[in-house]
Amino acid sequence: MRTTETGERQCWGCRAEVETLVCARCQAIQPLSGEPDLFAVLGLPRRLMIDPADLERRYHETSRVVHPDRFQTASPRERELSLDASAAVNRAYRTLRDPIALGRYWLALHGVSLGERHQGVPPALAAQVFEIQEELEALRAARNEDADSLRREVGERREDVAARLARLRAELVGLYDANGGPVLEDLRQRLAEIAYLRTLLGDIDETLEKGAQ
């Protein structure tokens, strides 16, 4: 992913040197060309360890400055810049506050695509996934008493999957707090497992819901 930094430019309004989304001298919103750096949009250093309170503060401050309501009587260009900036700020906030979205974005910044590199079942999950898929198939084909028994078993499996997903999320945050940050491959593996467990959880819920009808 190639991103566009917001800094090291001249303000289009007053020609002052500007390093942020909004010019400190004239308050003009700077244009975003290409794919904006979501860290830079909120004035954050590019790192995985983000102080949640600082993220909230920067988000609300920047949102107020670029909000389209402030530019209703401005020029067409300023209104357009406001809309673009507001969308970028919201996207940056949604991405950087969610550990999973943040991890995916971090991989993309470093040229690693989770979707392209991970097509099959993560090895660490293979045994559990195989057993659950067999139980789901049995539940879909079962009737009456057998279905009730299998539904209880699948419900217990669902609790196991949800617990493992919660543990992986905690491990992911732990990786971000590690000195020097995570190795990209470690991060990719964790995210691949989380993505697969999310899909598996959805399959379980769908099967249980249909079986209850």
Q: Are residues 92 and 121 in the same domain?
A: no
Q: In the prediction, which pLDDT does 24 show? A: 84
Residues 129 and 190 in one domain: yes
User: Three-state SS for 178?
Assistant: coil
pLDDT band at residue 183 using 50, 70 and 90 as cut-offs? confident
Query: Does 130 share its domain with 189?
Result: yes
Residue 179 lies in a domain: yes
- 117 has pLDDT over 50: no
Domain-ending residue, one of 39, 68, 97: 97
Q: Is residue 19 part of a domain?
A: yes
Q: Given a cut of 80, is residue 43 above it in pLDDT?
A: yes
pLDDT of residue 123: 86
Percent of the chain with pLDDT over 90: 49
Is 199 a member of any domain?
yes
Claim to verify: residue 128 and residue 194 sit in the same structural domain: yes
* 58-76 burial: b if 16+ Cβ within 10 Å, else e: bbeebeebbebebbeeeee
**Which CATH number goes with the domain that contains 24?**
1.10.287.110
Helix (H, G, I), strand (E, B) or coil at 158: helix
Residue 108 falls within a domain, yes or no? no
Mean pLDDT in residue range 113-124:
69
Residues 93 and 128 in one domain: no
Same domain flag for 72 and 124: no
Whether residue 90 is found in the same domain as residue 135:
no
* Domain assignment of residue 200, yes or no: yes
- The residue segments making up the domain with residue 22 are 9-97
- Residue 18, pLDDT score: 84
In a domain? residue 87: yes
Q: How far is CA 163 from CA 23, 115, 158, 197, in A?
A: 47, 24, 9, 10
pTM attached to this predicted model: 0.77
Short-list 97, 112, 108, CA closest to 35: 108
Per-residue pLDDT of 82-94, as tens digits, reads: 999 999 999 999 9
Number of domains in the chain: 2
SS3 (DSSP) at 17? strand
Residue with the larger pLDDT of the pair 173 and 74? 74
Same domain, 120 and 208: yes
* pLDDT (average), residues 179-198: 83
Segment 27-34 shows an average pLDDT of 87
Q: What is the mean pLDDT of the chain?
A: 87
Q: Do 208 and 120 share a domain, yes or no?
A: yes
Confidence of residue 175 (pLDDT cuts 50, 70, 90): confident
Same domain, 17 and 84: yes
